[in-house]
Amino acid sequence: MTQQTESAEVRRPARDWRDYTEGAPPPMLQAALDCFVEHGYHGTKIRTVAARVGLSVPGLYHHYPSKHALLVSITQFAMRDLLERCESALIEAGPVVEERFRLLIQCLVLFHAHRSDLAFIAASEIRSLEGEARTAHIAARDRQQRMVDEVIEAGVAEGVFGTEYPREAGLAIITMCTGVAQWYRLDGPLTPEDLAVRYDLIARRALA
């Protein structure tokens, strides 16, 4: 096996970032997520989560010692899933900056469409995270932003993108993509894939 072949294998995406047939949160986290979406984090009682998953409150506490622990696990699951998908998309795209931007934007939109509840709680309940959990979540969110910023900056340096404001453009594009979680419904007129293609076009035009 040549060194070139080994390098190509190392750079193979670790997962199919477009596939959402599997990989949903485990049952207890999904039950907590559903309750947080319906009632809000602070409005959710731990006994409501326990009942939904078919456990007693002590039974639930055996796995998660507090409601905050459930929220932390949900936000960690969300950011880990998103970042792994984004990394796989960038690996698939290779070195061409236009392709890196195209697949990264489509990846962001697909995640926030397919995992809208998960993404919504991870974003809206950051205010409820405490201590190290909050710090770690902000760091993960910043890492996601840097992925977009670095591709835009590379595109500007190569003359592919013409924006005079790459930092602000990156923030605007991220906000546009993450905002999908607030309004998109899977039973609407557009599939996640349709929406991803449209958002990719809109985002590239913003950088023209």
pTM value is 0.90
Third-level CATH fold of 71-206: Tetracycline Repressor; domain 2 (1.10.357)
Nearest CA-CA partner of 204 in 76, 138, 119, 109: 109
- Give the C-alpha separation, 46 to 169, whole Å: 41
Listed in sequence order, the DSSP H helices in 45-130 are 46-53, 57-63, 67-93, 97-114, 116-124
d(CA 178, CA 191): 16
Query: What are the pLDDT tens digits along the chain (208 aa)?
Result: 444 433 334 455 667 999 999 989 999 999 999 999 999 999 999 999 999 999 999 999 999 999 999 999 999 999 999 999 999 999 999 999 999 999 999 999 999 999 999 999 999 999 999 999 999 999 999 999 999 999 999 999 999 999 999 999 999 999 999 999 999 999 999 999 999 999 999 999 999 8
What DSSP state is assigned to residue 127?
G
End-to-end CA distance of the chain: 42
